[in-house]
Amino acid sequence: MSAITVDVDTTGLMCPLPLLKAKKALNGVDSGDRVRVTSSDQGSWRDFSVFTEQSGHLLLDRSEVGGIYTYLLQKK
């Protein structure tokens, strides 16, 4: 299992900033690398699902605890 390459904290930011920061992080890593994103934006739940379906990156895991959403992405 690959380690997390980049952690992106977008708590306090609203759409579209969590997704834009995730895209930037993915652009800066190699294929197969993992990016973990944390967000407080409820809309990010749908946004990250749609983004990974359209981009080909993998959404390995997502969770919500206490209003904080965490996504584990793997670059295609």
In 3-state terms, what secondary structure has residue 1?
A: coil
Determine whether 15 is an active site residue.
yes
Length of the chain: 76
Closest CA to 34 of 16, 68, 60: 60
Beta bridge partners of 74: 34, 58
Considering the candidates 15, 29, 59, 60, report the single residue annotated as catalytic.
15
Under 8 Å between Cβ of 59 and 49: yes
Active site residues: 15
